[in-house]
Structure 1
Amino acid sequence: MEITTSSIRGLAHRCEEFLDDRGESSAISYPGSLALCILDSVYSTGSHPNAVDNVVDRYIARHGREDGAKSLRYSIAAAGGAEVWAEQVVCNLKPASTHPGAMLKAEVVDQATRLMAEYGIDTVTDLLETLVDEPSPGRSTTGLAGRWRDLPSQRSGISWKNLLMLAGSPHFEIDYRVTNCIAEVAGFGIDVTDDYVLVLIEEVADVLGAEEREVRRIVWQLSHRRLLSKRKPASTAWRYGLDADSDVLVEVGVEGWHGGAEAADPAWDHEWTMPYSTPGASGAAPF
């Protein structure tokens, strides 16, 4: 496999914004709270990042940063149900899809906490230990991932993959959004396979001195618009030793890895995954 230094520079420039000088990531994760992982994963689908941040911040203001799935379920019950909780605790009444009569995202969150209870899962550690027995989080699984996808408006699995990233799972499923993100930096005519994505991320992690799993999380969240870049396109000023005035092939290879990329399907089970409205565009403002 051949990867160019310009591709490495391009992706590194996009990821560097979310890494400090020690290679520590500012990508979004909640290693100490499954409640926050569930909230973020469900609310992030089809929502502006600021709206998701507001939901999480309001919950933290009420309950702190360490709640498990059980405490989240109790919070909803104590409020008098999902609709009242959505209105009074997180102040977000967004529906789970664009279909008329769709249930609120808060109701999906409530069902997700009950699903976790069925599997005896309360903490992030519980979730990660359960996933060890599920080698594939793909659509065909009959385990927890499959049950999550059976939740209302969650068939595409985007929220499930969000959950894995937020919880720190090593699972990294390359979907069409990740592929499109990589294609933007790889250049015209490059066959962006799953192996290409993984190797490019590995090379970028090495260049930036960061953990590979953190670069994967950044790439996922950038691809799915959970993170928004505020940087301008990369300039020729580069401090990582890759010559910006030339484009050199870097020969690398991957053995023993089998990807699970899913084809893009705009009608994929009708889950609401359309981008949020951008500033100045028509449509409802994020809330």
Structure 2
Amino acid sequence: MSTDVERLRAACERDLGDPADWPGPFGYPDALALCIIDAIYVTGARHLTVEKVVERYRGYRAAQGGDADTDGAPELLANVEELGGPVQWAAEIGNRRPTSTVKGAPLRSAALIEVAQALVGLGIRTTADLRRVTEDSERYAQAKAAWCAVPGQRSGFTWRYLVLLAQQPEVAADPSVAGYVDRELGAADPAGVARLLRDVSESAGWDAAALHHAIWRFESARRDQRELPSTA
């Protein structure tokens, strides 16, 4: 086992808690529709609740002869339109949860439509499109701003989660995950980070995608702590 693998494994054991408590394998690298659904419904809910929404969407699309695991944003919008709009989509596939606790806050299904329309308007129709946007700082900032302008998405957490869900962690690591590795080992390219994560996972008997997700969540929590306003 290389020194880098040993050091990174030790850091993960120090920072990430019991692997039994990590989320399971996740992500939809070929289905922007599912990425959007998961990201919009994930906050403030047990992930089992989100999984049920995703499975209802999968089941509905399968009954149509479609494949939810390759659906992009246009297919998601077509599905909402076919069912009659956000209220009907919430009843059939989603749920009645609002975007926030503010009185009169719109349903999450309404936010789902807004973010999907915003992405399509920016030429982001598939996960491949979204991954390309992450490589262009100007387009990335534009897309993030459009997403965060939708009710309930202002913090940016769901945007970061969307991008993570669309990634292919076996190919390249999310920038936040790469940043974690950089702090521990020094600079490495995203593809090199992905290889290291695979090696660490194999040495420890962990799921590589779950490890990637656990590091991302750890980094996201650190970022949110840094962004909290000072009370001094």
TM norm. shorter chain > 0.5:
yes
Residue type of the partner of 1:101? Answer: G
Deviation at 1:109, TM superposition (A): 0.4
Structure 1 pair 40/266, CA: closer, same or farther in 2 (3 Å)? farther
Correspondence for 2:228: 265
| Distance (Å, rounded) in 2 between the aligned partners of 1:163 and 1:214 | 16
Counterpart for residue 37 of structure 1:
35
Q: What root-mean-square deviation, in Å, do the aligned CA atoms of Structure 1 and Structure 2 show?
A: 3.8
Structure 2 match to 1:151 = 150
1:195 equivalent in structure 2: 183
Structure 1: 5+ residue runs without aligned partners?
A: 19-24, 180-192, 226-259, 268-287
Q: CA deviation at 1:208?
A: 2.5
Larger RCO: Structure 1 or Structure 2 (Cα < 8 Å, ≥ 6 residues apart)?
1
Paired with 1:33 and 1:99, the residues of 2 have a C-alpha distance of 31
* Cα distance, 1:67–1:266 mapped onto 2, change above 3 Å: farther
Say which SS state the counterpart of residue 26 (structure 2) adopts.
coil
Q: 2:190 is matched with which residue?
A: none
Distance apart, 1:166 and its partner CA: 0.4
Unaligned runs of 5+ residues in structure 2 are 1-6, 62-66, 188-192
User: Residue 166 of structure 1 corresponds to which residue in structure 2?
Assistant: 165
Larger Rg: 1
Q: Label 1:212 to 1:52 Cα distance change in 2 as closer, same or farther (>3 A).
A: closer
Distance change >3 Å, CA 80–CA 204, structure 1 → 2: closer
* 1:74 lines up with 2:72 in the alignment: no
- Offset at 1:58? 0.5
Give how far 1:217 is off: 2.1
* Count of matched residue pairs: 202
How far 1:97 moved relative to its partner? 0.7
Q: Tell me, in whole angstroms, the C-alpha distance in 2 between the residues paired with 1:95 and 1:45.
A: 11
More helix by share: 2
Contact 2:25 2:209 in 1 (8 A): no
TM-score normalized with structure 1 length: 0.59
* Structure 1 residues 204 and 120: CA distance shift in structure 2, 3 A: closer
Aligned to 1:54: 52
8 Å contact 1:30–1:167 — kept in the other structure? yes
Q: What is the deviation of 1:119?
A: 1.2
Q: Which residue among 106, 110, 117 is the counterpart of 1:114?
A: 117
Report if the CA contact (8 A) 1:27-1:221 is conserved.
no
